[in-house]
Amino acid sequence: TEKAIAFPNNLFPTISSMFKLILLLIIEYSYSLTTTASNMGKNKRRNEISIVGPEYIQVLQGSLLNKQVSLILCGESHQDAIDVTRSGGVFDPHDGWIEMKKNDIFQPIFIEDAEIQGSANPNDDILNKLMVQVYATSKKCFTIEKAKEWAKEAVADSEIYGQVAFLWVTQNVEARIPKGRVFLLRFLSKAQLDNDQEEDDDDSEEGTWINPKLQPNDLPSPVKDWLFDDDICNFGKSHRSFEWGDLDLEAFQLNRRRLTNEVVSSDEIDKIIEDRKKKLHEENIQTWDEWFAFIRKSTEDGEIDVDLVLEAQVPPWELSLYRPQYSTTDNESYSLPHAAKCIRCVSEDEEEAVEDMFDPSGDGIGSYMDYVYRKFMKDSLLNKSNDK
């Protein structure tokens, strides 16, 4: 909504310390809860602050343990923290073409291939395992900027995943405004293609998956030259390659590191998120965790307890394991009972889809909820240390 949600002070009763509840107090401090770009612009003109983070807010009121209680539930869709801190409060990445070297384009595909990672000649091994699809080819020659527009339209018209790039090839590099043909390419490894349960079988020549080593003559000559000739492929003037990716370069670089299994610490991610939140302040936007921290601080001296309950992994120190023992007819033997039927009937996990292999959000530390958990857990531990 465009209006701030406000509640009178007497709405929230004093809660016994033995049963603290999550009370996310929304106070009338010109805070608007909105996530749409259009409302962002309106709030900026009114010099109001917008909050991004939850997808919805639900207010529940009633009586609990002889107390009049109000619960404010904030729903979240497991966005990455890097997405929550994008400019304008728009979570979806703004994709475009980024000039990349050939080997950098292939890197995320083979990062888990131990044979290639330990190879003395990785380029040759990559070509043995690489599958290439010439997705589209331009009939006309374009300048680089026009080539980007043409390739973008081709990508936007279909749902393609994997490593997507286009190759721009010109015959006249000395021209004042050089123009070249465009080859839109898609790359997967042989293993990824075999595991793809939703492979799009295309009988057209340009839709066929090709292995460069086994079928080099099935590739257009400019594409074959680019794949096999290292002298022309790395930012050469006649052959230039662009990967389809996030134009937020900070997000692109971080996610590329996560996809290539580079160790990115939670401390580093948290530092990046804090810096990005400062940039959002210039747009009158705050993230939900900042809003909650403000609310909790504003009630520290009052009679209301404000606690946070998050969907998160259970900390190991809150678990205890024990092995039940059941006697059989032989007092010296013990056996474990079968698991409950509802557990035994759970279907096995499906194999990872190919598109999931190119999703960095599965690293377990980069989601917004993980970030919020770490932030307030640190605050909680710090407060306990100060109390001692």
pLDDT tens for 296-341 read 888 777 777 777 888 777 777 778 776 665 555 555 555 667 778 8
Question: CB under 8 Å to 190, separation ≥6 — which residues?
Answer: 129, 130, 131, 211
Residue tagged 């799009």 (tokens): 200
Q: How far apart are CA 246 and CA 27, in angstroms?
A: 36
Average pLDDT rounded to a whole number, residues 89-101: 90
Q: How are beta strands 67-75 and 49-52 bridged, if at all?
A: unpaired
The torsion angles phi and psi of 209, rounded to 5 degrees, stand at -80, 130
Q: How are beta strands 67-75 and 95-99 bridged, if at all?
A: unpaired
The model's pTM: 0.69
The percent of residues in the chain predicted with pLDDT above 70, rounded, is: 73
Q: Where are the alpha helices (DSSP H) in the chain?
A: 37-45, 81-84, 102-106, 114-117, 122-129, 144-156, 190-195, 221-228, 230-233, 249-259, 266-281, 288-298, 341-344, 368-387
**Count of CB atoms situated within 10 Å of the CB of 23:** 21
Sign of the alpha-carbon dihedral angle for 117, 123, 127, 133: positive
Burial 227-236 (b: 16+ CB within 10 A, else e): bbeeebbeeb
Q: How many residues can be counted in the chain? A: 388
Closest CA to 145 of 129, 128, 166, 125: 166
Sign of the alpha-carbon dihedral angle for 80, 86, 92, 94: negative
Residue 45 has pLDDT above 70, yes or no: no
Which residues on neighbouring strands pair with residue 165, listed in sequence order?
185, 243
pLDDT value of residue 357: 65
pLDDT value of residue 11: 38
pLDDT value of residue 115: 75
pLDDT tens digits for range 102-152: 888 888 787 767 777 777 777 788 888 889 999 899 999 999 999 999 999
pLDDT-derived band at 180 (thresholds 50, 70, 90) equals very high
